[in-house]
Amino acid sequence: MTWGHAATADITIGTLDLRVDGPADGPPVVLLHGFPQTSLSWAGVVPRLVDAGYRVIAPDQRGYSPRARPVGTEHYATDVLADDVVELADALGLNTFHLVGHDWGASVAWVVAARRADRLRSLTAVSVPHLAAFGQSLAKSEEQREMSRYMQLFRQEGRPEDVLLEDGARRLVDFYEGRVPDDAVAEYVRILSESGALTAALNYYRAMGSWMSELPAVTVPTTFVWSDGDRALGRVGAELTADFVEAEYRFVELAGVTHWIPDEAPDALADAILDRAGR
């Protein structure tokens, strides 16, 4: 399960590994993966984008790329991760681009859209709602508070690394719910077992700040894709997201699909991205 051509981009914190595919002169689409995955998670989506003529760039984000794995929780704040995306675009000479993010990639993408709308042609956020909508859902929904209980473990120092990697990374493998291809899971486990990698990935949770719930509305054309089988993100936040988009907006609900939308429903997701970006 592979796609694209290996590439790298130097930004302030180090060197990001990239997968790149599609015509060099195609409209650029940047794809941001979530936890606990890498750019490989887009393998099922990319062929459709390339066939439509897009240039696809998918980084292994900070902490997942071995040469961009700084030590210290402060290096993984969501606004810092969003700055990486703009720096990546600068390094690649992309003045404007379409942005797509799943899971933590979506969280980062919402911040980019809110703070640097001048750089985006469109936004497609997958699974994670606008961060202010998510904050409201935690306040309003007991279901969402229960769904988010796992974050309490992930924000602890040291313990979740031991829990997820012990016994041959059994609990990390279980995290994918059997919905992610085995060869991809093997790659994710290999990468997250590298020195400091899982700590870096978990630092995304540890660096979460209250400001995220105060993120302003986005003003770029936006599609939000959510699945009703997601065990971590409930309907309340999904439906509240419309209140935080001050531009043309579409909500795409995928029935019977779990959290792992890029793996489980790549064609439906590709359709949503192409409908937003323009075929």
**Predicted pLDDT of residue 279:** 66
**What is the pLDDT, as a whole number, of residue 1?**
62
Could you give the CA distance from residue 52 to residue 278 in angstroms, rounded to a whole number? 9
pLDDT of the residue at 3:
81
pLDDT tens-digit map of 12-25: 999 999 999 999 99
Query: Could you give the CA distance from residue 111 to residue 218 in angstroms, rounded to a whole number?
Result: 9
For the chain, domain boundaries:
5-277
Could you say which residues of the chain have pLDDT below 50?
none
pLDDT value of position 117: 98
Question: Looking at the annotation, which residues are catalytic?
Answer: 103, 205, 259
Q: pTM above 0.85?
A: yes
CATH class of the structural domain 5-277: alpha beta
Nearest to 45 by CA among 278, 268, 258: 268
pLDDT given at position 160: 96
DSSP letters of 216-229?
PPB-S-EEEEEETT
Work out the number of other CB atoms within 10 angstroms of the CB of residue 278: 12
Considering only CA atoms, which of 95, 73, 69 is closest in space to residue 11? 69
Strand partners, 62: 65
